[in-house]
Homo-oligomer: A and B are copies of this chain.
Amino acid sequence: MKLTTTRLTHLHQLPTGVRELLSRNIPRAACARLLPLTSRRQFADVTQQRRNLTTQQLDSGRDERERVVILGSGWAGYTIARELDPKKYQAVVVSPRSYFAFTPLLASTSVGTLEFRTALEPIRTRRSDISFFQGWADSVDFKNGKIAVEEAVADPSSSRALTQDRHAGQTKEERKEEKRVEAKKGKLFDLTYDKLVVTVGCYSQTFGTPGVKEHAYFLKDVGDARRIRSRLLACFEAAALPTTTDDMRRHLLNFAVVGGGPTGIEFSAELHDIIREDLARIYPELVPFSKITVYDVATKVLPMFDEKLGKYAMEIFKREGIDIKTSHHVEGLWPGAPGESPGDHSAFTLKVKEEGELGVGMVVWSTGLMSNPFVANALDEVRELPHTFERLAAAPEDSQTSNPQQWRVKKDAKSSSILTDPQLRMKLVGDGKNKPEGILNDVYAIGDCAILEGSSYPATAQVASQKASWLAKRLNKGDLDRAAGFTFKNIGVMAYIGNWNALFQGGEGGNISGRLAWVIWRGAYLTKSVSWRNKILIPIYWMINWIFGRDISRF
């Protein structure tokens, strides 16, 4: 059996017949003969169809190929999984999500400008060679090239923004005991790799603001977008009840966005669009109660755009009535309108340092990244070095100590992100007084969880996918060692600012704003969207929703 899936469990718990079945490369015709008659008849035509793509087949078909295990299915992970040459590498994605989310379109899906699935690409498809296990990477054994995976098939958190460690509050011993139980149940299993690509991304940072984790709406994943869409429409429906007071209407229809980055700004713009274009016609008497405010602690929003574009955006927002409140500090969030006990679908209270307690219908939190607990915990101490470890020449051996050198994954002091060399290989640092350094030649880290040491590339989809493409190309060519390191080519930043206006700031300095930038914005995302399915569906939804309005059914 080539996919070594060692179960961390006792022998009597081993899956009956799985290894036997997997290890033999039984001809398909013979296989069919072993099956019950019904199943055979039912799918006889199919098992002979097309190439077969999943674990069992990949295992026997692995041949000379190296297995590249990719942790995560975001911009970095999904890009490299697709771009690795399947003739040379067996790509195995391990992710709690069964899909890749095209994040720039999430804000559109959160108000129904696009349908949710147009922003998703399933990892498994009829046409791809990518193998997939739905699970969380739990720990890494660098020495033996092996990761432990905690399965996540039914994990309800897997389509939502993550704000804290799943195992937070557990002591190391408790977690160890839990892992024993999980292994016994088949919830935890080992997976070997030849190369490991860490693209686990970041969690959402709430800066310890009380109530935000529990009551704010995030916008990092499609489950978040679905919650926002449902809540937004429920706020209007609740405000339309004859028993709702005007005060409560004002609370329910007061929408606060915390964070003035592209996500927060684009969401505000989309929210303004659905209110102006659809809800104003469906609930005309409620629209005067509605309000959108963007809060940011910084002195300006959209810091990545130059002054002229920023000013243009502010003017558009002012004209549209969206309030931008910079240098404002959110201090807390709790259910129930100000001074009231929480009701069934009542408003929330948002406490802002500069404004006091405000009644709000929904707070969308779109600021802050937090180090992934996997990076913090699993990627820390390296107990035994693998043979792929390469010590960098810089520092001499600590000869005065008798203890063997202890190595840790080198991390950025501020963000705790993994540091890599220009070849995107994970760096290690020793605990000797000379702080010796080394790299793992078979472990790479890209995406929001990693920083190329010495660079100042932003944590964006563009950087993540460029790194992933670069690494895939190098691995496909086999010239990583000889290649010059990765460099980022800024192809520009864009933001939708509502009412068919956008900002575009080219990498080379060209600035465009307004309707033309909007056309570029739509064109770019349409071109970049991955599958033909979505390239067709996205413009159809743009048109259908422009003609008929967005759907407001809630379920």
Contact = CB atoms under 8 A, between A and B. Distances in A.
B284 A57 contact: yes
A310 B159 CA distance: 43
A507 interface: no
Contacts of A125: 282, 549
A275 B126 CA distance: 12
Given A38-B323, A289-B39, A553 B187 contact: no
B245 A284 contact: no
A18 B553 contact: no
A285 B59 CA distance: 12
A513 interface: no
Interface stretch (A116-124, A461-469, A516-524): A116-124
A553 B272 CA distance: 29
Given A46-B281, A120-B553, A280-B47, A133 B242 contact: yes
A512 interface: no
A440 B246 CA distance: 38
A403 to B, nearest CB: 38
A43 B125 CA distance: 44
B5 A284 contact: no
Contacts of A344: 154, 185, 187
B153 A21 contact: no
Contacts of A221: 555
Interface in A217-264: 221-223, 226, 233-234, 237-238, 240-248
A27 to B, nearest CB: 14
B117 A553 contact: yes
Report whether over half of chain A's contact residues are helix, strand or loop; otherwise say mixed.
mixed
A16 interface: yes
Contact of A153 (B241, B292, B547): B241
Given A15-B243, A43-B287, A319-B41, A281 B53 contact: yes
A140 B549 CA distance: 36
A290 B226 CA distance: 31
A52 B284 contact: yes
Q: Taking each of A32, A40, A276, which has the highest tally of chain B beta carbons within 10 Å of its own beta carbon? A: A276
Contacts of A282: 53-54, 124-126
A555 to B, nearest CB: 4
B18 A246 contact: yes
Interface residues of A, number: 110
Contact of A17 (B122, B153, B246): B246
A115 interface: yes
A112 to B, nearest CB: 9
B241 A281 contact: no
A544 B537 contact: yes
Contact of A237 (B98, B115, B286, B320): B98
A16 B117 contact: no
Contacts of A287: 39, 43, 46-47
A551 interface: yes
Nearest to A58: B285
Interface string A296-313: 000000000000000000
Contact of A288 (B35, B122, B241, B245): B35
A114 to B, nearest CB: 12
A345 interface: yes
A234 to B, nearest CB: 5
A242 B57 contact: no
Contacts of A21: 246
A291 interface: yes
Interface of A: 3, 5, 7, 15-18, 21, 31-32, 35, 38-43, 45-47, 49-50, 52-57, 97-99, 115-117, 120-122, 124-126, 132-135, 151, 153-154, 159, 185-187, 189, 191, 221-223, 226, 233-234, 237-238, 240-248, 272, 275-276, 278, 280-292, 319-323, 343-345, 531-533, 536-537, 540, 544, 547-549, 551-555
19 contacts: A5-B243, A17-B245, A18-B245, A21-B246, A39-B290, A39-B291, A43-B276, A46-B276, A50-B281, A54-B283, A57-B284, A98-B552, A116-B555, A117-B551, A153-B237, A187-B344, A222-B555, A531-B548, A537-B540
**Closest 7 CB pairs between A and B?**
A42-B321, A186-B243, A159-B555, A5-B242, A99-B553, A15-B245, A52-B284
